[in-house]
Amino acid sequence: MESVDAIVVGAGHNGLVAANMLADAGWDVLVLEATAEPGGAVRSGHVTAPGYLSDLFSSFYPLGYASPVLRRLDLPIRWTHAPDVFTHLLPDGRAATVSRDLDRTMASMERFAPGDGERWKHAYEDWQAVSGRILDAMLSPFPPVRSGLGLLGRVGVAGALRLGRRLVLSARQLGSELFAGEGGPLALAGCALHTDLSPEEAGSGVFGWLLAMLGQEVGWPVPVGGAQQITSALVERLESRGGRIAYETPVSRVLIARGRAVGVRSAGGGDYRARRAVVADVPAPAFYLDLVGSRWLPPRLVEDLAHFRWDGSTVKVDWAVAGKMPWGNPDASGAGTVHLGGDMDGLSRYAAHLAVGEMPPHPFLLLGQMTTADPSHSPDGTESVWAYSHLPHRESWSAGEIDEHVARMEAVVDEHAPGFGDLVVGRHVFSPADLQRENPSLVGGAVGGGTSAAFQQLFLRPIPGLGRADTPIDRLFLASSSAHPGGGVHGAPGSNAARAALARDRALTGGAYRAVISAANRAIYRSAP
Ligand SMILES: Cc1cc2nc3c(=O)[nH]c(=O)nc-3n(C[C@H](O)[C@H](O)[C@H](O)COP(=O)(O)OP(=O)(O)OC[C@H]3O[C@@H](n4cnc5c(N)ncnc54)[C@H](O)[C@@H]3O)c2cc1C
């Protein structure tokens, strides 16, 4: 049986971040990946037409660029930007544009209501005063004591109270408090819909604010050469430190002895021994129920898992476009990302359809103009484009339902870019089932590793508990986006898991660390009286 210090299950970016950090500490690390490729939802490929590169899943990386976790790994990635960050197109053709050039954003917001340019500037100044501390608090292990105290020191008790209120506001409410016109609120609500949060949902305001303001501050950059560059950099860094990756090796079981993770079994029957830790970059339900198994878990944890909620299913379409996008409003031409398909009420209606389990008749789309962001994506004068849109979370959709939804998506694009359909020379569709086939962690096409709703955040993610990577099984850690702080390419769940594994392993303090975690878990998962 092969024996290493740590086994990492899954070569998504979180698994690779964890593997790199453990290798940095001198550990012998083996990553077992179910598919033939590393990267999980951070990959690129040629799927539409020759010469057109597509980012198969994620493609814009404001969180990755700003993440202290990825910065510490010092990856040799060359970042580039579209001229504008994003544009929200309204049904009447108007555009709300966010650009790294503050004056340009202000001018766009001002067109919606006199004074909204200045209001945007104030909102941005508020963000800038706390952005570093918020990112540190968000992307470090829970509870973020040091960064939380730093934030409190910066804003004071009065500011902390208002910040606390902002954390639970809906995007509609926050937008209406910050702006007089429609542009600013739509910028926030469109950004909130990068998660599964509707404009009415508690917490959608802060997600919208975070993504929009990060866009203002650092843009939504992409790696030159596509998403794959992030994965390749992580893989090369790991291999240069002696770490290894075995592909087409799905893990079916965590091996446990006397309450401690001691290795894993692959679906092919191979056993691998882990001397110090097993770190899993897999979704929480598969991790606990399939890989660990309920007999090793406190019954109360298994009950809590029954309430774990996925985010919506996703349909993603990539197009090879033999020209520039024929936008009706030229303001969208320079944007890396375009939000399409609704004013505020339209976004709420779209979200309401998803909430009641119906196909949205007029979908909201996130659309990426990848050649505008990075010219290496397709020949000069052409565009490599993708768009994705959500469906209610379901594991199976008929081919007819998917075709219908793709037709609706294309109709929305055509409404805003008349003649788009005539320019398409290649198309590739990922249905929810296709997404899951390419990456078994994208269960039902859910892109976030579980809902971003407030009831599944912080110490409630993935289930009520410590909000940490530690589990009730000694030396077993959860490193995927199902763990705090959730989806997005920022590496924090991977980093949190590696830090927990290293803390558990420390010669002098590891035992005490384990005792505290065990006692806390016993209290949290004690059976209901
Ligand atoms: C269509 C789409 C668009 C997105 N857009 C963006 C974006 O623009 N910007 C952004 O920041 N984020 C975006 N995201 C979200 C982001 O990509 C994910 O949150 C992030 O990649 C999750 O990383 P991860 O390492 O936790 O999991 P994953 O990337 O899903 O990786 C998990 C890995 O584990 C492997 N695996 C699963 N089970 C097993 C097993 N039993 N044994 C072995 N291996 C296993 C999988 O094959 C996979 O390689 C997007 C996601 C999708 C799907």
The per-residue pLDDT for range 372-396, each reduced to its tens digit, is 999 999 999 999 999 999 999 887 8
Determine the Cα–Cα distance for residues 10 and 31; give it in Å rounded to an integer.
7
Residues with CB under 6 A from ligand 1: 9-15, 32-35, 40-42, 57-61, 63-64, 250-251, 281-282, 314, 316, 388, 439-442, 447, 449, 480-481, 487-489, 493
Q: In 3-state terms, what secondary structure has residue 264? A: strand
Sign of torsion over alpha carbons 227, 229, 232, 237: negative
Is residue 480 within 8 Å of 473, Cβ to Cβ? no
User: Average pLDDT for residues 247-264, to the nearest whole number?
Assistant: 97
pLDDT of residue 341: 86
Nearest to 497 by CA among 3, 7, 33: 7
Q: How far is the CA of 12 from the centre of ligand 1 (A)?
A: 6
β-partners of residue 9 are 32, 280
Q: Which residue lies with its CA nearest to atom 15 of ligand 1?
A: 488
> Which phi and psi (to 5°) does residue 358 adopt?
-105, 155
User: Average pLDDT for residues 400-419, to the nearest whole number?
Assistant: 96
Q: Which residue lies with its CA nearest to atom 7 of ligand 1?
A: 58
Look up the pTM and report it: 0.96
Q: How confident is the model at residue 428 (pLDDT cuts 50, 70, 90)?
A: very high
pLDDT tens digits, one per residue of 42-85: 999 999 999 999 999 999 999 999 999 999 999 999 999 999 99
pLDDT of residue 149: 84
Q: Ligand 1: which of 57, 207, 248 to mutate, judged by most atoms within 8 Å of the beta carbon? A: 57
User: Average pLDDT for residues 420-427, to the nearest whole number?
Assistant: 98
Q: How far is the CA of 441 from the centre of ligand 1 (A)?
A: 6
pLDDT tens digits, one per residue of 130-172: 899 889 888 988 888 888 888 888 888 888 888 888 889 999 9
Asked if the bond preceding 143 is cis, omega within 30° of 0, the reply is yes
Q: Ligand 1: which of 247, 489, 490 to mutate, judged by most atoms within 8 Å of the beta carbon? A: 489
Q: Which residue has the tokens 């203002």?
A: 216
Asked if the bond preceding 326 is cis, omega within 30° of 0, the reply is no
pLDDT of residue 230: 98
Mean pLDDT of the chain: 95
Residue 457 has pLDDT above 70, yes or no: yes
Kindly give the number of the ligand 1 atom that is closest to the alpha carbon of 430: 1
* Strand spans (E) along 126-270: 222-223, 244-246, 251-257, 260-266
Radius of gyration of the chain from its Cα atoms, rounded to whole angstroms: 23
> Which phi and psi (to 5°) does residue 283 adopt?
-60, 150
Contacts of 122 by beta carbon, 8 Å cutoff, 6+ apart = none
Q: How far is the CA of 423 from the centre of ligand 1 (A)?
A: 31
Q: Which residue lies with its CA nearest to atom 27 of ligand 1?
A: 12
> Which phi and psi (to 5°) does residue 482 adopt?
-70, -20
Q: In what helix (H) or strand (E) does residue 384 lie, and over which residues does it extend?
A: strand 383-391
The number of beta carbons lying within 10 Å of the beta carbon of residue 355 is 14
pLDDT tens digits, one per residue of 203-231: 999 999 999 999 999 999 999 999 999 99
pLDDT of residue 21: 98
Q: In 3-state terms, what secondary structure has residue 43? A: coil
Determine the Cα–Cα distance for residues 84 and 294; give it in Å rounded to an integer.
49
pLDDT of residue 529: 63
Cα angle value 489/494/498 (rounded, 5°): 155
Q: What percent of the chain has pLDDT over 70?
A: 100
pLDDT of residue 510: 95
pLDDT of residue 151: 83
Q: Which residue lies with its CA nearest to atom 21 of ligand 1?
A: 41
pLDDT of residue 150: 84
β-pairing verdict for 260-266 and 251-257: antiparallel
Determine the Cα–Cα distance for residues 409 and 415; give it in Å rounded to an integer.
10
Helix residue spans in 219-363 (DSSP H): 228-240, 284-285, 299-305, 344-355
Nearest to 376 by CA among 142, 159, 78, 133: 78
Q: How confident is the model at residue 1 (pLDDT cuts 50, 70, 90)?
A: confident
User: Average pLDDT for residues 22-32, to the nearest whole number?
Assistant: 98
